[in-house]
Amino acid sequence: MTIRSFLSENLSTASIAVGAVMIPATAYTACPIELAVYGDTQSGSEIDFTPTGTSATVTNTFRLILDNNVVLNGIVMWTQDVARPNGALMYKCPEGDVTGGELAACTLWNGVIYTSDDKGNIGLLPAEGVGAPKTLILPDLGPVLRQSRAYGGSGFSKVPSDVFAMPGMSAAQKVLLVTGGSRGIGAAICRLGAKASYRVAVNYASNKAAADALVAEIKAGGGEAVAVRGDVGKETDIVAMFGAVDRAFGRLDAFVNNAGIVDVKARVDEMDVSRLERMMRVNVVGSFLCAREAVKRMSTRHGGSGGSIVNISSAAATLGSPGEYVDYAASKGAIDSFTIGLAREVALEGIRVNAVRPGIIDTEIHASGGQPDRIERFRDLLPMKRAGTADEVAGAVLYLLSDAASYTTGAILNVSGGR
């Protein structure tokens, strides 16, 4: 007998009555339930959901993390007759084939998992893919666990309550704007930002279809996103773009200066003024003007509540890109200096400013500069003998945006595979 078959036979459907009207679980945040984390301030314990994968019977998988490193494994299955999300918490279950008795012994708690919102409306724990509710109720959890073999001695000592809530000021409410967020590295940042529960504003210049597709993808995953058009080479577009984010979300917590362009391969003695002005206008002036708008919203000096900015530089800033595009490399060198200066300028205003320097990353930017084979040509020169992925850059950006980097400002992080 497996744990799942045992539980599907033995879970009671309505073991605990809650004296309130049952309503469908409501999604309160952009965070899908399978990524949600809940805490119980009374005991400091945590409920941590993880994606279940494909299962015919299990709808949710989670862990209850108690003090003294006691971890209970949880699963949820819906009963057919009276539809209810029946949860079970297990502790040190034997591996492999086990008897029903052994499984019963290692199941410390089971019951229906309820949810509640700010107004006290009670719902049922939703299946994966749906936005996470604000509060979870596991009836009788505390008293039942206190009677279990996991309590006392070398087990846990702080008995949890029956109610677990999402952290009060979670990233779920925060807003992230990414310029050039519709494709390539920007799109990867938007996707990862949505997974980290940011509400995401996806900027694009002309490819509306790509931006709309990404917004639809984020929404399908339970997130919140809007597409905002704007050419960062135009001040009026930048002001309008930030205004659109204000209207959509009413706040700005995280901003990524990602939009950037390259031009076709050329030596400096072949570059004309229009090429140089376009390069600097989009990559440098655009980044300054966008940061200006972000600072106006985030800075405590302007009545904001702080925030985090990440500028996307390039390994080209240190390499110079001779014979290819020194203008692009110089524009990214400017981004590095800009990052250090702005970081110091707003350090006392609640804003951190950092940069990421990607190496050669597999996106469409190389083809846009007339070099679709650029990655292949450079592969053998790269220490890891491969290009990086947009996701690998996004991970570094999300770290710098997050509170985990709270003492990091003015930093420039190479994500260049050692190049």
Q: Binding of ligand NAP at residue 414 (CB under 6 A)?
A: no
Q: Binding of ligand NAP at residue 259 (CB under 6 A)?
A: yes
390-401 and 184-195 helices cross at what angle (nearest 10)?
Answer: 50
Residue 327 Cβ vs ligand NAP, minimum distance, rounded to whole Å:
12
Residue 286 Cβ vs ligand NAP, minimum distance, rounded to whole Å:
6
On the CB side of 65, CA atoms within 13 Å amount to 11
Rounded CA gap, 382 and 366, in Å?
A: 16
Rounded CA gap, 83 and 63, in Å?
A: 23
Q: Binding of ligand NAP at residue 88 (CB under 6 A)?
A: no
Among 2, 13, 41, 206, the residue binding ligand NAP under the rule CB under 6 A is 206
> Measured on CA atoms in the order 276, 281, 285, 286, is the torsion positive or negative?
negative
Rounded CA gap, 287 and 280, in Å?
A: 10
Stretch that binds ligand NAP, among 43-51, 131-139, 252-260, 318-326 (CB under 6 A): 252-260
Among 123, 186, 193, 221, the residue binding ligand NAP under the rule CB under 6 A is 186
Do the beta carbons of residue 122 and residue 22 sit within 8 Å? yes
Candidates 204, 328, 399, 407; catalytic one? 328
C-beta closer to ligand NAP: residue 144 or 228: 228
Q: Binding of ligand NAP at residue 232 (CB under 6 A)?
A: yes
Residue 361 Cβ vs ligand NAP, minimum distance, rounded to whole Å:
4
Stretch that binds ligand NAP, among 220-228, 259-267, 376-384, 396-404 (CB under 6 A): 259-267
Q: Binding of ligand NAP at residue 281 (CB under 6 A)?
A: no
Q: Binding of ligand NAP at residue 123 (CB under 6 A)?
A: no
- 204 by Cβ neighbours in 10 Å (0-12 / 13-18 / 19+) ranks as buried
328 is catalytic: yes
Rounded CA gap, 312 and 406, in Å?
A: 19
Q: Binding of ligand NAP at residue 361 (CB under 6 A)?
A: yes
Query: Helix, strand or coil for residue 300?
Result: helix
Among 360, 397, 401, 405, the residue binding ligand NAP under the rule CB under 6 A is 360
Which residues within the stretch 323-342 sit at the binding site for ligand NAP (CB under 6 A)? Answer: none
Query: Strand order of the sheet with strand 37-40?
Result: 107-112, 85-90, 71-78, 58-65, 45-50, 37-40, 163-165, 135-137, 114-116, 122-124
Q: Give residues in contact with ligand NAP (CB under 6 A).
A: 179-180, 182-186, 203-207, 210, 231-233, 258-261, 282, 312, 314, 358, 360-361, 363-365, 368
Catalytic residue ranges:
328
